[in-house]
C-alpha cells in the first residue's frame, strides 16, 4: 500500500529530516519546511530511492530551504554583524576554548553558503562523501573536491587568528568525513 510505504518513510526519517532542517532554519519555520519535504515525498513517492531515502530527503530539504534563501540570508548577515561586534558582556578572564569557538563561528559565518552546506553535511549530518554527493546532486569525486576546497578555505580563515591559542583542540567542529 502506498500509505504504508509513506508511513514507514515518514516514521523512519522524520527525526533526521527535522534535525537537518533545524540546523539551518530558526524557530517555527522548521515545522513548515519539514512538512513541505514530506509533502514532496508523498507526491513523488515513486521517485524515492529504496536504499538511499534519507539522502534523497535531504536533497529535497535542501531545495525547499533554497526557496527560503532570502530569510536565511538576512539571518546570516545579522549573525556576521553580531559576531563582528566587540563582546562587552564578558568580563575578566577569557577561556581559550571560548575564543576558539568564536573564531570558528566567525570563520564559518564568512564562508560561502555552498562551503557552509558542504561542511555541515559532513560535520553535522555525518554523511559519507557518497551520501553527501547524493544530497548535492553531484558525483562523489566532485563532492570530495568541493569538501577539500571548503576545508582549505576554512583553515585559511582560521590561520591569521592570533597566536594559535584560539585554535584549541575541540574548538572547531569535526570536519572528518567517514568514507571520504
Q: What's the rounded Cα separation, in Å, for the pair 119 and 97?
A: 21
Query: Do 140 and 133 contact (CB within 8 A), yes or no?
Result: yes
What's the pLDDT score for residue 178? 45
Nearby residues of 172 by Cβ (< 8 Å), 6 or more positions away: 100, 104, 158
Query: Domains of the chain by range and CATH?
Result: 2-66 (1.10.1740.10), 92-158 (1.10.10.10)
Query: Do 149 and 156 contact (CB within 8 A), yes or no?
Result: no
The three three-digit cell numbers of residue 20, written as one number: 537537518
Q: What's the rounded Cα separation, in Å, for the pair 53 and 156?
A: 35
Q: What's the rounded Cα separation, in Å, for the pair 123 and 116?
A: 10
Q: What's the rounded Cα separation, in Å, for the pair 132 and 144?
A: 9
pLDDT tens, residue by residue, 150-167: 999 988 888 754 444 444
Q: What's the rounded Cα separation, in Å, for the pair 146 and 141?
A: 9
Angle between helices 29-43 and 53-66 (to 10 degrees): 120
The separation between CA 111 and the C-alpha centre of its own chain, rounded to angstroms, equals 12
Angle between helices 2-22 and 29-43 (to 10 degrees): 150
Please, what are the averages of pLDDT over each run of 10 residues along the chain (180 residues)? 92 95 84 93 92 94 82 70 66 61 82 91 89 92 92 84 43 45
Structure pTM?
A: 0.53
What's the pLDDT score for residue 50? 85
Q: What's the rounded Cα separation, in Å, for the pair 10 and 95?
A: 43
Give the Å distances, CA to CA, from 89 to 70, 78, 150, 160.
30, 18, 32, 25
Amino acid at each position: 500500500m502506498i500509505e504504508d510505504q509513506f508511513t514507514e518513510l515518514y516514521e523512519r526519517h522524520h527525526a533526521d529530516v527535522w534535525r537537518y532542517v533545524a540546523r539551518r532554519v530558526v524557530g517555527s519555520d522548521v515545522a513548515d519546511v519539514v512538512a513541505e519535504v514530506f509533502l514532496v515525498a508523498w507526491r513523488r513517492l515513486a521517485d524515492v530511492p529504496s536504499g538511499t531515502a534519507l539522502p534523497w530527503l535531504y536533497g529535497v530539504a535542501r531545495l525547499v530551504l533554497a526557496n527560503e534563501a532570502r530569510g536565511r540570508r538576512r539571518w546570516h548577515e545579522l549573525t556576521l554583524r553580531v559576531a563582528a561586534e566587540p563582546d562587552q558582556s564578558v568580563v575578566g578572564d577569557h577561556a581559550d576554548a571560548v575564543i576558539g569557538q568564536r573564531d570558528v563561528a566567525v570563520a564559518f559565518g564568512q564562508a560561502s553558503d555552498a562551503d557552509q552546506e558542504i561542511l555541515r553535511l559532513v560535520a553535522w549530518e555525518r554523511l559519507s562523501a557518497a551520501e553527501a554527493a547524493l544530497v548535492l546532486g553531484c558525483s562523489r569525486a566532485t563532492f570530495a573536491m568541493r569538501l577539500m576546497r571548503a576545508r582549505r578555505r576554512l583553515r585559511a580563515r582560521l590561520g591569521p587568528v592570533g597566536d594559535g591559542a584560539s585554535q584549541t583542540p575541540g574548538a572547531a567542529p569535526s570536519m572528518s568525513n567517514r568514507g571520504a
